[in-house]
Homo-oligomer: A and B are copies of this chain.
């Protein structure tokens, strides 16, 4: 232990370098941990695991070992019912945490799959629990994270329960825009790393409907889209699609 610490003093690069851009340390900051607490977290963190596009970060049914902070890349989470039908339940980008779905049951309920080459930091949940006992702020932060996951899911339920295709796609684009902006990327020009079918699955629509809706948005000059590259030409117009442009199910 002492030897390890001593060595660490010599060869540990600045903290930021071990979790480039995003990762658990950025996350510690948002949890308001002190520097020494952050160091404790770092000691239990594995760095820089990379995942090829199309391969799994973890499988549904796998025992819950670790939480993952996404450093870079883009992943999807999918949930299957017992009849084999599956639905995309979320997309994960740099700066976000994956694996929360398993905390309740101890088993992953989702598959989490890279859409493009991604890099993650991992932390064993057993270690995390031990740290939580020592660092109350960490505990609160976990609860808050799970709370926002619940809010997110409930927003999606609202979307799936009562929005028209146009509204769903608009919500989806605006949500991505906000998340890219929060990470310092352009809020108007970005890539859609997922396929039309995956967007459709997430929104409860068929891929053809997604494609048609995007074409329609392009016709009315709200966006320009070319394959996976999109440019939001008028965010206000897109925003106006929600709850104004036809909501056949709304009251």
Contacts and interface: CB of A to CB of B under 8 A. Distances in A.
A87 B150 contact: no
Pairs of residues from A and B, 8 with the lowest C-beta to C-beta distance, nearest first: A104-B147, A160-B160, A83-B243, A153-B153, A161-B204, A146-B146, A103-B147, A104-B148
A153 B157 contact: yes
A201 B249 CA distance: 10
B161 A87 contact: yes
A154 B154 contact: no
A151 B251 contact: no
23 contacts: A79-B158, A81-B158, A83-B242, A85-B162, A85-B247, A89-B157, A100-B147, A101-B150, A101-B151, A102-B147, A103-B150, A104-B144, A104-B149, A109-B151, A109-B154, A110-B154, A142-B143, A146-B150, A157-B157, A160-B161, A161-B203, A162-B204, A204-B249
A146 B104 CA distance: 7
A150 B151 contact: no
Q: Is the interface of A mostly helix, strand, loop or mixed?
A: helix
Contact of A151 (B105, B160, B162): B105
Interface stretch (A23-31, A115-123, A131-139): A131-139
A151 B104 CA distance: 8
A249 B200 CA distance: 11
Contacts of A148: 104-105
A102 B136 CA distance: 19
A87 B157 contact: yes
A150 B104 contact: yes
Given A89-B157, A109-B154, A153-B153, 5 more contacts: A85-B250, A103-B144, A149-B150, A156-B157, A160-B160
Given A83-B243, A87-B162, A251-B85, A105 B156 contact: no
A143 B138 CA distance: 13
Contacts of A142: 143
A68 to B, nearest CB: 16
A35 B28 CA distance: 36
Task: Identify the interface centre among A110, A147, A243: most chain B CB within 10 Å of its CB.
Answer: A147
A198 B142 CA distance: 33
